[in-house]
């Protein structure tokens, strides 16, 4: 199997989500991929591995009637996007990292899944595409992302239902304050996730479409 786009040593992982077997490609050596991104002044490839937050959202797919579109913001290597596509939903996967996008495109192609993978910068000015459900999994990887992510959540809530999954980081209080200032205060649900490269407890925030 040859990846289109950036070359990266990868591993294939078969996972079962929402009653379906899905193949996910992730970076075999995350440190190596990160070093290369720094050398090339590319976006940090945080999403080139499978994080527990993506699992936390994938668990909820069985309760989503669809059909979509589902807009996966910061899709990374695409566990959630691939699982949603396998469930028959229309999926738009957005990510800034070329490595993550290449891994996701290759995994989708090799399984005959249709995922519309697009380059997208959460901190930029381009609007989110229209969707029925917007998902954000582990996009608060730096404190500087609190404001941009809050802005994107506020944008998404105007159009559809929003699911956000994040580990309980030290700057969670800042994120909650940002949501409160935007009139989006809500109590997250704690979800135990035994899967992913950072298995543990994940906080899931939900805003239902009006």
Decide if 104 contacts 92 (C-beta within 8 A): no
pLDDT digits (tens, 9 = 90+) for 47-59: 677 888 999 999 9
Rounded to 10 degrees, what is the CA torsion of 60, 61, 65, 70? 110
Instruction: Give Cα 59 distance to the centre of its chain.
Output: 13
Largest distance between two CA atoms of the chain: 47
Phi and psi, residue 188, nearest 5°: -75, 160
The pLDDT value given to residue 2:
41
User: Which tokens hold the place of 86?
Assistant: 């396998």
Decide if 131 contacts 71 (C-beta within 8 A): yes
Report, as ranges of residue numbers, the positions in the chain whose pLDDT lies below 70: 1-8, 30-31, 33-35, 37, 43-47, 195-199, 210
| CA 59/CA 199 separation, integer angstroms | 14
Peptide bond into 151 cis (omega under 30): no
What superfamily would CATH give domain 10-207?
Vaccinia Virus protein VP39 (3.40.50.150)
DSSP code, position 52: H
**Is 70 strand, coil or helix?**
strand
| CA 76/CA 104 separation, integer angstroms | 7
**Is 143 strand, coil or helix?**
helix
| CA 98/CA 55 separation, integer angstroms | 22
Helix axes 79-86, 98-111, angle to 10 degrees: 30
The pLDDT value given to residue 106:
93
Phi and psi, residue 105, nearest 5°: -60, -45
| CA 185/CA 205 separation, integer angstroms | 10
Rounded to 10 degrees, what is the CA torsion of 67, 189, 143, 178? 90
The pLDDT value given to residue 199:
64
pTM of the model as a whole: 0.90
**Is 115 strand, coil or helix?**
coil
The pLDDT value given to residue 63:
82
């Amino acid at each position: 199997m040859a990846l289109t786009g950036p070359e990266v040593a990868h591993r294939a992982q078969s996972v079962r989500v929402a009653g379906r077997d899905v193949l996910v490609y992730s970076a075999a050596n995350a440190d190596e991929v990160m070093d290369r991104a720094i050398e090339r002044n590319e976006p940090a490839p945080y999403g080139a591995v499978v994080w527990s937050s993506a699992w936390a959202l994938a668990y909820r797919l069985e309760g989503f009637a669809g059909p979509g579109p589902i807009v996966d913001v910061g899709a990374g290597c695409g566990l959630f996007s691939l699982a949603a596509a396998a469930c028959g939903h229309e999926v738009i996967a957005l990510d800034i990292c070329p490595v993550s996008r290449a891994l996701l495109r290759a995994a989708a192609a090799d399984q005959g899944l249709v995922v519309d993978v697009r380059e997208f910068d959460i901190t930029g000015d381009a609007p989110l595409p229209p969707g029925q459900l917007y998902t954000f999994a582990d996009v608060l990887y730096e404190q500087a992302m609190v404001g941009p992510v809050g802005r994107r959540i506020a944008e998404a809530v105007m159009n559809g239902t929003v699911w956000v999954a994040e580990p309980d980081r030290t700057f969670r209080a800042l994120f909650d304050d940002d949501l409160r200032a935007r009139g989006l205060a809500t109590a997250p649900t704690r979800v135990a996730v035994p899967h992913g490269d950072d298995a543990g407890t994940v906080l899931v925030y939900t805003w239902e479409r009006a």
